Chain A
Amino acid sequence: MSLPQSLRVSVTPLELELIACEQLVEIVPLISMEKTAFISGAYGPLRPPSKSKVPLWMAINLKLKKKCHIVPPEWLTVDFLQERLSRETSQPQFSKLPFRFAEISKVVLDVASDDVPNADKIRSLLKDLREARQAKSREGLQQIDHSELSLPNLCSMEINEIRPVFVQSMGLLSQLVREPENRAGDV
């Protein structure tokens, strides 16, 4: 059992979260810390009250110990998400969002909702966005053929969500196309 059954088909949302947590966010530290070398790079020095950039996992860690405030990413605002949502509902294509927006917004809202202005409004906007986009990706299933399907601006979590169905569908379609050639070769 080198790889548990549940991990063989796809990666899990938790693993995606782990990857997303490598991204840098701005924090307002409440403690000071010298510049420290980590495997992913050197961060700090932290000097309250000036902002500093650290990986999200470190920000979460500090936040949980009440040692910093997380500055929400600039796209995690009511204005921006509202604008994306209206685009999402008025235009057929997916609008552009950060590739790992779902993971990052979840983590930030879970851990630091008091640092995000209008957190509840943002939550509901994110939910609306997700539903609008999900509907589109389901429609996308109609266009699937055996060779290629372009999915511009789709995000990491959404890809992971549709992966099993889409991969299987395309796999079936390519089998249907491939079969005659094989038979011809065998006979």
Chain B
Amino acid sequence: MDDEDFFTSLGRGSSSTSNARGRGGGTTTNSFQDRLRRASRHDPDGLPAAGPSSRDADGDVRIRDAGADHVNGLGRGHAAEDGGDDDEELPDFLREDVSETPLQQLVRHWMNERHAPDILPVQEALLSELLDHIRRQSETVQLLRGDPSSSEDEHFRIMLVQTEVERVKFVVRSYLRTRLFKIEKYARHIMTQPEMQEKLLENEVEHARRYANLTDQHFYHAVLQSLPDSQQTLDDAPPFVPPMVAEPDRSRPVFVHAREDCPRITLPDGTPHEMKKGHISLTPYAVVDQLVARGEAELV
């Protein structure tokens, strides 16, 4: 959404705009702190990155402050949204953000993964983008913590940033753990199906391989070696009983929520079904897997 990193905004916070803020009133302590910060910033600067970017930020802030006067101090990103919402009778229901932030995307994929019986394609680019972001935020926090000149206000922001980092980490972990759970459950199936392996990360495939081997060996040493040859296999598919290799049950029903108007789908009983934006259905996963894969619908 917003590309500025923590540094630029910090740079802006500390080194600029006491003039812009002066007329706001009620911020005397703040501008005092600012003056303190500025003083320390004028010696050969400790944070090289903050130098040029904070100057850009100056201009930026002035523009934003001017705008803020008539949008009641809201950040710029939200100003337009709010204007649009006010026209609608029930803003909250109807608002489905068209542009998702990476975090919102991950949350959606996390929930899809949690609800889908099958393993979904891994969101590698999204994951690495967010992990990168987490790392950058954490590094900044570390740096600022070590900086003795940072003010109390900054410590407070550091705390908030850290809180968020932990929240995002939780989502990332839960997403990966959900996948890991399914990978272990369907390890043997994955090893026989190349198209399943395409949906996994390399190290996930490697994990599935080792897990399948380990369990196979364990079963062999524990029981199978003492059975007759014909009964030693682990992939029998006798009639009328479920096969020995566990497969995802793609006919399991899921709750699906249309994020946009979806193309017509065919239900198991043959009737066509069209989902308008916002519609919620309970239907077998196999019916909607394409919609979910394309992001037109999400599992809830």
- Interface residues in A111-129 by Cβ distance below 8 A to B read none
- Kindly identify which residue among B160, B171, B280 contacts A36, using a CB–CB cutoff of 8 Å: B160
Which of A33, A38, A57, A148 lies in contact with B273, CB distance below 8 A? A148
| A154 sits at the interface (CB 8 A) | yes
B125 CB within 8 Å of chain A:
no
Contact partner, A47, options B10, B24, B268, B287, Cβ 8 Å? B24
A177–B255 alpha-carbon span in the complex (Å)? 20
> B233-287: which have CB < 8 Å to A?
239-240, 251-255, 267-269, 271, 273, 278-284, 287
Q: Which of B1-47 contact A (CB under 8 A)?
A: 1-2, 4-6, 8-10, 12-14, 24, 26-27, 30
- The SS class assigned to the B binding surface is helix
Cβ-defined contact, A34 with B153, below 8 A: yes
Question: How many whole Å from A94's CB to the nearest CB in chain B?
Answer: 10
Contact B114 A42 (CB under 8 A): no
Q: A18-B170, A98-B93 are in contact. Are A52 and B253 (CB under 8 A)?
A: no
In chain B, what residue has the closest Cβ to A145? B269
Tell me whether B290 is interfacial, beta carbon within 8 Å: no
- Chain A residues whose CB sits within 8 angstroms of the CB of B133 once the complex forms: 39
Are A35 and B282 in contact, CB atoms less than 8 angstroms apart?
no
Contacting pair A47 B73 (CB below 8 A): yes
> Which among B24, B111, B130, B177 is the interface contact of A11 at CB below 8 angstroms?
B111
Q: Fill in one digit per residue for B84-120: 1 if any A CB lies within 8 Å of its CB, else 0.
A: 0000001111000000011110010001001100000
Q: Does B134 interact with chain A (Cβ within 8 Å)?
A: yes
- Assess the B168–A39 pair: CB atoms within 8 A: yes
Q: List A contacts of B167 (CB < 8 A).
A: 18, 57
**A139 in contact (CB, < 8 A):** no
Interchain CB contact under 8 A, A34 and B157: yes
B203 at the binding interface (Cβ < 8 Å): no
- What class of interface size applies to chain A in its complex with B? 35 or more
Q: Which of A31, A52, A97, A170 contacts B282 (CB 8 A)?
A: A170
A38 to B137, CA, bound (A): 8
Q: Are A52 and B73 in contact (CB-based, < 8 A)?
A: yes
Beyond A40-B101, A52-B74, A149-B282, whether A96 also contacts B90 by CB under 8 A is yes
| Among candidates B78, B90, B107, B164, residue contacting A53 with C-beta atoms closer than 8 Å | B78
Find out whether the CB atom of B253 lies under 8 angstroms from the CB atom of A170: yes
Query: Is A91 among interface residues, defined by CB-CB distance under 8 A?
Result: no
Decide yes or no whether B291 CB sits under 8 A from chain A. no
Residue A78 at the chain B interface, CB threshold 8 Å: no
Of the residues A18, A43, A61, A96, contact of B75 by C-beta under 8 Å: A43
B283 touches A149 (CB 8 A): yes
Q: Which residues of B contact A77 (CB under 8 A)?
A: none
> Distance (Å) between the CB of B178 and the closest chain A CB?
6
A156 sits at the interface (CB 8 A): yes
**Nearest A residue (CB) for B152:** A31
Task: Give the residues in chain A near B196, CB-CB below 8 Å.
Answer: none
CB B155 to nearest CB in A, in angstroms, measures 11
Chain A residues, Cβ within 8 Å of B111: 11, 19
Q: Does B72 contact A (CB under 8 A)?
A: yes
Residues of B within 8 A of A (CB): 1-2, 4-6, 8-10, 12-14, 24, 26-27, 30, 72-75, 77-78, 82, 90-93, 101-104, 107, 111, 114-115, 130, 133-134, 137, 153, 156-157, 160-161, 163-165, 167-168, 170-171, 174, 177-178, 180-181, 184, 239-240, 251-255, 267-269, 271, 273, 278-284, 287, 300
12 contacts between A and B (CB under 8 A): A2-B177, A35-B9, A36-B10, A37-B2, A42-B9, A47-B26, A50-B72, A51-B74, A146-B268, A148-B287, A152-B278, A167-B282
Closest 7 CB pairs of A and B: A34-B13, A50-B73, A3-B181, A2-B180, A170-B253, A42-B2, A147-B267
